[in-house]
Structure 1
Amino acid sequence: MKQVFLLILILSGFDATSQVLRKRTAKLMGSRFDITIVANDSLAAERNIDTVIAEVTRIENLISDWKADSQISLVNRNAGISPVKVDPEVFALTERALHFSKITNGAFDISFAAMDRIWKFDGSMTEMPSPEAIKKSVEKVGYQNIELDREHSTIFLKRKGMKIGFGALGEGYAADRCRDMMLSKGIKAGIVNGSGDMSTWGKQPDGSDWAIGITNPLRKDTVFAVVPLRQGAVVTSGNYEKFVVFNGKRYAHIINPSTGYPATGVSSVTVFGPSAETANGFSTSLMVLGKEAGLKLISKFPQYSYILITDEGQIFSSRNLDLKKYSL
């Protein structure tokens, strides 16, 4: 899950191109989607928003692990029984997610869906779960037990009770997919924001860049930087609102799939880059890996930049993102 500490800044300056901007909010994939389209007229903008909503719904019906008739639900029901043939699109998304699981050594794990939800972040927990309960909660998690057959386009979960799920990664994929679809239709500017997984393209009607206001999760009412979006996508993961404290230590709602323990040390991570799907994988992984291991990982991918804020309020950013230039 993500906590979003981003503010899309839409300016209303002079419209030199006679284009109009239309925005609509819809509940898709169990989350809030904000869709912004810039087009030559209002009717075209609204029709293209309808197209985006239809595309996200199509993707949800393919990959949702909550919908009993989705291909992913069928894969999960056949865990430990038999491989399941899926559409090439679903196979490719699973393949990318599995690759991410491998390069993060399980800090990101698409089989996390099988984890027992023993941690509660609604105020009802009065003590930590026992080490035994925590260990048991992740016994069915393990990307190593996912078998992909590219020739036959099948997915097989080797252990009974295993599950895969795309969660926010699916929202990032849908945002990227809709951006590419709009570009292919000649729509030169817009934003698809799936619960904080944002894919953007083009510029605002007045010719200015789309811009993101970034708040410190420890002071949510304050924007400390405004960053123009020139690379296409931005995603934030954070733990400010959902956490518990035991013995003076804060435990975030983002769980390490390998250990079953909540992430500690990092309050939020914002990742910029060409793909919202990949940026989501990085933002989640950096929360789990922590500052040192996380920044070592993302430094290997120069197309992506980051802003990381620790639990103590320290701010770190990548060299290819001049944060001082955008600070307020």
Structure 2
Amino acid sequence: MLAIKTLTNNLTTFGRSVRLMGDKFEISVVGNDPLLADEQIDIAINEINRVDRLLSTFSEDSNINRINRNAGIEPVKVSSEVFRLIDRALQISELTHGAFDITYFAGTGYTGDDAAIATNADVKIAPSPIMLTNYKSVVTDAAKQTIFLKEKGMRIGFGANSRGYAADRAKYVLQMNGVSSGVINAGGDLLTWGNQPNMKPWTVVAADPTKRDEPFANLNISNMAFATSVNAEKYTSINDKKFVNAVTAKKGFPVSEITSVSIVSPTAELSDAMASPIINIGVNAGLYLINQLNQIACIIIDDHNRIYTSKDVNI
């Protein structure tokens, strides 16, 4: 159902909420023709569904499935779009020292002769899950456009940044179709371009009313992507005591210092990918990392509701 939110200077924000990629997407476009706006939103939805199929691990013939099936066997030639997406993900892994990692462990993958012990001096040991969860074991060949996972049982997946990439693609096709302003809310992460109907910049409040009570709700996010990762409060009760269930990727210690991280950057893919790693990295190291980069900013809230911001962020 098409929702009409605001009318100013003959410009209106038309929006629709739909469930895509297992999450709630809200797609809003600014214009003056409700029928045209409805058609444009359909185009955006089609593009998001295309990305969902592209990155699916359920389709037998998808690039991702073929890469995973051939882990430890041989390189797989992929589409240029998938190759670029994987290459960017590996760059982010390098940047965050592995805090962001698209690889995961799906089983030993060692049976029969692979797991056999030949002699006391020649013992084959199957890789541990830690060894298999390692972005450095992904081999890319730009010339041949192939991807190879070195170890059997190793897999890749895009749960951490697929929604962001889908939102970026939807924005791209909308802009190519002449939509000069809009907002895509992908499960609470925001991607904006252009201005509101009143010609003012998009802010977190204007783009997503659910952010109204946040202390940085009036942050200008026009032509940027805004993604938030929360340190989920999942507890295990032992003798009436509560223990946080979130752990860091590196040390395995409970994460208690950071409550949430919000990243502002030019693309939803990058904002999505960088938000969770900062929780694992910590306040000081996270701010240091972000401050070394161009066109990216972060807002960190700790468990005492203290707010930390990277340089050039005014809230």
- TM score, norm. by length of structure 1: 0.80
In 2: Cα distance, 1:113 partner to 1:49 partner: 37
Whether 1:192 aligns to 2:181 is no
Asked whether the 8 Å contact 1:52–1:178 carries over to 2, the reply is yes
Instruction: Give a deviation string over 1:94-123, Cα, whole Å, max 9, x none.
Output: 00000111111101111036499xxxxxxx
In 1: Cα distance, 2:104 partner to 2:255 partner: 14
Match of 2:80 in 1: 88
Instruction: Give a deviation string over 1:217-248, Cα, whole Å, max 9, x none.
Output: xxx99432322222411000002444557796
Match of 1:319 in 2: 311
Match of 2:54 in 1: 62
Kindly, what percent of the aligned residue pairs are identical? 37
Length, aligned pairs only: 289
Match of 2:65 in 1: 73
**Cα distance change, pair 137–245 in 1 and its aligned pair in 2 (3 A):** farther
State which structure, 1 or 2, has the greater radius of gyration over its C-alpha atoms.
Answer: 2
TM-fit CA distance, 1:22: 1.6
Q: Which runs of 5+ in 2 are unaligned?
A: 109-126
Asked whether the 8 Å contact 2:67–2:76 carries over to 1, the reply is yes
In 2: Cα distance, 1:98 partner to 1:60 partner: 20
Whether 1:15 aligns to 2:8 is yes
**Cα distance change, pair 11–303 in 1 and its aligned pair in 2 (3 A):** farther
Of 157-166 and 185-194, more deviation after overlay is shown by 185-194
Asked whether the 8 Å contact 2:54–2:63 carries over to 1, the reply is yes
In 2: Cα distance, 1:183 partner to 1:174 partner: 14
Q: Which runs of 5+ in 1 are unaligned?
A: 1-9, 117-134, 215-219, 324-328
Asked whether the 8 Å contact 1:38–1:188 carries over to 2, the reply is yes
In 2: Cα distance, 1:13 partner to 1:41 partner: 13
Match of 2:215 in 1: 224
**Cα distance change, pair 242–307 in 1 and its aligned pair in 2 (3 A):** same
| AA in 2 matched with 1:312 | H
Asked whether the 8 Å contact 1:79–1:162 carries over to 2, the reply is yes
1:28-39 aligned at under 5 Å gives the runs 28-39=20-31
Whether 1:204 aligns to 2:163 is no
In 1: Cα distance, 2:262 partner to 2:107 partner: 25
Q: Please state whether the residue corresponding to 1:199 is helix, strand or coil.
A: strand
Where do 4+ consecutive residues of structure 1 move more than 6 Å? 245-249
Whether 1:148 aligns to 2:140 is yes
| AA in 1 matched with 2:78 | V
Higher relative contact order structure (alpha carbons within 8 Å, sequence separation ≥ 6)? 1
Asked whether the 8 Å contact 2:105–2:153 carries over to 1, the reply is no
| AA in 1 matched with 2:137 | N
Instruction: Give a deviation string over 1:174-195, Cα, whole Å, max 9, x none.
Output: 1112212211221011112221
2:166 maps to which of 159, 162, 174 = 174
Match of 2:95 in 1: 103
TM-fit CA distance, 1:319: 2.5
TM-fit CA distance, 1:250: 4.5
Asked whether the 8 Å contact 2:5–2:12 carries over to 1, the reply is no
| AA in 2 matched with 1:15 | T
Instruction: Give a deviation string over 1:240-266, Cα, whole Å, max 9, x none.
Output: 44455779675354x544455554421
**Cα distance change, pair 148–263 in 1 and its aligned pair in 2 (3 A):** farther
Match of 2:16 in 1: 24
1:302 maps to which of 275, 287, 294 = 294
TM-fit CA distance, 1:304: 1.1
